[in-house]
Amino acid sequence: TQSTWEHCVLIANRKLEQQCIIQETVRVKSGAWDYETGVFVYNTLSHIKYTLVNGDHGVVRTLEIPLYITKVQGDVIQCLDRDSQNKSIFIDNSEFAFKSYLHKRDFTFVKKIIQSSRISGNSIIAYLTKKGFPEIALHFVKDERTRFNLALQCGKIDIAKECAGAADDKECWER
């Protein structure tokens, strides 16, 4: 099968060196940079999506009607509909902002997003662990056994000991 560029998002730096490429199954309609977070937000016929320069990407939300993105700023997307009418769409940008600030190692903003509790769940814990930040993942986890494993990964022996005691699990104590 032949790959077409209308189904791709290619991110390049100022020297036009490829940073990442995202292959979509359907045509990419439009996109714009969120300069605050450094994330490219784009859309297909039915979804608004994002990509970071490191290739991490995801879905922001679904669309009821086709739109054409003209500007992204914070949690507002400016766009045009098929009748050329301006529309403002409010989105939850916390997931891609979190990932972007984490990638930039801007922990001040990462901490603010964590404290606002706008993101949570196993996917963020897995993402943090995969990207080498198990100590940040500790802030999200309530399960003592999972906290124990994360604490060991980041060398927080006191927290691991506390979790092993709370879990009262023989296997934890043996490790």
Residues 73-118 pLDDT 10s: 989 999 999 999 999 999 988 889 989 998 998 888 887 777 776 6
* Predicted TM-score of the model (pTM): 0.78
The rounded percent of the chain whose pLDDT value lies above 90 is: 44
C-beta separation of 70 from 78 below 8 A: yes
* Statement: residue 21 has pLDDT above 60: yes
Q: Quick check: 52 and 71 in contact, CB under 8 A?
A: no
From 71-80, 148-157, 164-173, the region with the lowest mean pLDDT: 164-173
Tell me the DSSP string of the chain: ----GGGEEEEE-TT--EEEEEE-SS-EEEEEEETTTTEEEEEESSEEEEE-TTS-EEEEEE-SS--EEEEEETTEEEEE-TT--EEEEE---HHHHHHHHHHTT-HHHHHHHHHHT---SHHHHHHHHHTT-HHHHTTT---HHHHHHHHHHTT-HHHHHHHHHHHT-HHHHH-
Q: What is the mean pLDDT of residues 10-21?
A: 92
| Mean pLDDT over the full length of the chain | 84
Taking residue 127's Cβ as centre, other Cβ atoms within 10 Å add up to 20
- What's 108-157 look like in SS3? HHHHHHHHHCCCCCHHHHHHHHHCCCHHHHCCCCCCHHHHHHHHHHCCCH
**Structure confidence by residue, pLDDT tens digits, 30-40:** 999 999 999 99
The reported pLDDT for the residue numbered 113 is: 76
